[in-house]
Amino acid sequence: MGKKSIETMVGFFVLLGMLGIVFLALKAANLGNLGGGDTYPVQARFENIGGLKVRAPVRTAGVTVGRVTRIALDAKTYQGVVTMEIDKGFQYPKDSSAKILTAGLLGDQYVGMDPGGDDKNLQPGETVPQTQSAVVLENLIGQFLSNKAEGPGGAASGAAK
C-alpha cells in the first residue's frame, strides 16, 4: 500500500467522523428534520409555558406531529402564546386540547396534543381551545412544603392555640 492510498483512507475516515459529529449535533439541537413538508399553523395559550422552547416537538400518542415555531407573551392577558406548525397529514378536531409535558422526570418539555371528538377540524391559524400549562417542579415542592408546615388543622404547626 502506497503512502498516497493511506493518506486518502485517513482523509476519508476524518470526513466520515466530521459527518457523524454534524449528524449528532443536528439531532441534539432538534434540527434533524430539515425537510419541512406541508404544515399548517395553530396557536395555544398557556398560563405558564415552563421551559418550553422553540423547535420543541408537538406529539400525539408519543408520535411527533409538528414543532413549536414561536413563543410570545400576550400583552393584554399576560399568557404565553405558543405557535405550532402541524403536519398536514394530522387534522385535529376543533375541541382538541394541548398540554405542556415533560419527557421523563427532568427532561425537555414538549406540547402534547389530545384530539377531541368534534366533526369540524382546526383551521390554519386557529387557537386550540383547551390547554393545560406546564407543571413546574419548584412550585410543586413549594406547595408540598407549605402544606406540611401548616399541619393537619390548617394552622402552622407548633403555633399556640
52 is written with which cell numbers?
Answer: 418550553
71 is written with which cell numbers?
Answer: 413563543
Q: Are residues 82 and 27 in the same domain?
A: no
Domain count, the chain: 2
Q: Count of CB atoms within 10 A of residue 99's CB?
A: 18
Q: What are the backbone dihedrals phi and psi of residue 81, each rounded to the nearest 5 degrees, phi first?
A: -105, 115
The C-alpha cell 421523563 sits at: 104
User: Can you give the pLDDT at residue 161?
Assistant: 47
Q: Are residues 28 and 84 in the same domain?
A: no
36 is written with which cell numbers?
Answer: 419541512
Helices (H), 1-65: 3-28
Q: Are residues 65 and 123 in the same domain?
A: yes
- pLDDT one-digit tens code per residue, 107-157: 788 999 999 888 999 899 899 998 888 777 777 788 888 887 776 665 555
Q: Are residues 1 and 69 in the same domain?
A: no
Question: 28 exposed, middle or buried (CB, 10 Å; 0-12, 13-18, 19+)?
Answer: exposed
Q: Are residues 26 and 53 in the same domain?
A: no
Q: Are residues 52 and 87 in the same domain?
A: yes
Check residue 103 and report its DSSP letter: S
- pLDDT one-digit tens code per residue, 16-26: 999 999 888 87
Q: What range defines the domain where residue 11 resides?
A: 1-32
Is 34's pLDDT higher than 50?
no
Q: Are residues 62 and 24 in the same domain?
A: no
Q: Are residues 54 and 12 in the same domain?
A: no
User: Can you give the pLDDT at residue 103?
Assistant: 83
134 in Cβ contact with 145 (< 8 Å): no
Is 35's pLDDT higher than 80?
no
Reported residue count of the chain is 161
- pLDDT one-digit tens code per residue, 75-92: 999 999 999 999 999 999
